[in-house]
Structure formats: structure tokens, C-alpha cells
Amino acid sequence: DGGITQSPKYLFRKEGQNVTLSCEQNLNHDAMYWYRQDPGQGLRLIYYSQIVNDFQKGDIAEGYSVSREKKESFPLTVTSAQKNPTAFYLCASNRAGGIAGELFFGEGSRLTVL
């Protein structure tokens, strides 16, 4: 089945460690996005990529990094510079020329910093 796969589903890390969240899609979508969800805060855009080897900062990019070496993959690294990394991270994608604003989401990765 086509969809977006995020892994791991749950992740624990110690302070000062970098961690990478995986996002893979087999929908042949051009654009991919990373959103952060905090309780009572809604979703906020971290990074997005409209094409391979190109990506743009969203509203809260500080302390995060991404890469887009393949169309199917858009991993997110949460670095030690991110002050409050404990959150639920959602990856999404959409098709160029598709319905504007229609995002397809993965099931999310919950990161807890101990």
C-alpha cells in the first residue's frame, strides 16, 4: 500500500545526543515536510523540501537539520542544539500540482529526551 512510513515510533535520547528520525514515502510525491506537534500547541513547520537536493527552513528550524538525497526519503536530525526536543514529530508529503494544502501524513515519531 502507498503511504508514508516514519521510524522509529518511539525514541528516547539523553541530553546532548543527536538523533535522526526517518521518513520514507512511496507515493511518488515531490514535496515533503516535517512538522512538530506539542500538547496544546498544534503543529509547527520545521523544514520542507519541494525537490531532491533542495530544502527550506520552516518556522522553527533552529536545532534541526534535514537532507533530501532521494525523492522518497526526508530524514530529520534533532541536534543537541535544540533546546526542547521532546515532542511528537510528523512527516508529510504532497504532489506537485495536487490539491493545494492537502498533506498526507505519517503516523509520527515520539521523541523523549531523558
Partner 1 sequence: AQTVTQSQPEMSVQEAETVTLSCTYDTSESNYYLFWYKQPPSRQMILVIRQEAYKQQNATENRFSVNFQKAAKSFSLKISDSQLGDTAMYFCAFMKQMNYGGSQGNLIFGKGTKLSVKP
Rounded-to-integer distance, Cα 41 and Cα 55, Å: 24
Minimum distance from residue 46 beta carbon to partner 1 (Å): 11
Q: What is the DSSP letter of 60?
A: T
40 binds partner 1 (CB under 8 A): yes
Taking the least distance from each CB to partner 1, the nearer of 62 and 107 is: 107
Q: Per CB under 8 A, does 90 bind partner 1?
A: yes
Cell numbers of 5, please?
Answer: 512510513
Rule CB under 8 A: say whether 84 interacts with partner 1. Answer: no
74 binds partner 1 (CB under 8 A): no
56 binds partner 1 (CB under 8 A): yes
Residue 2 engages partner 1 in binding (rule: CB under 8 A): no
User: How many angstroms separate the CA atoms of 92 and 14, rounded?
Assistant: 27
C-alpha torsion 94→83→113→7, nearest 10: 20
Determine the longest span between alpha carbons in the chain, in angstroms.
Answer: 42
Task: Give yes or no for residue 45 binding partner 1 (CB under 8 A).
Answer: yes
Binding site for partner 1 (CB under 8 A): 4, 31, 33, 35, 40-45, 48, 50, 56, 58, 90, 92-94, 96, 98-103, 105-107
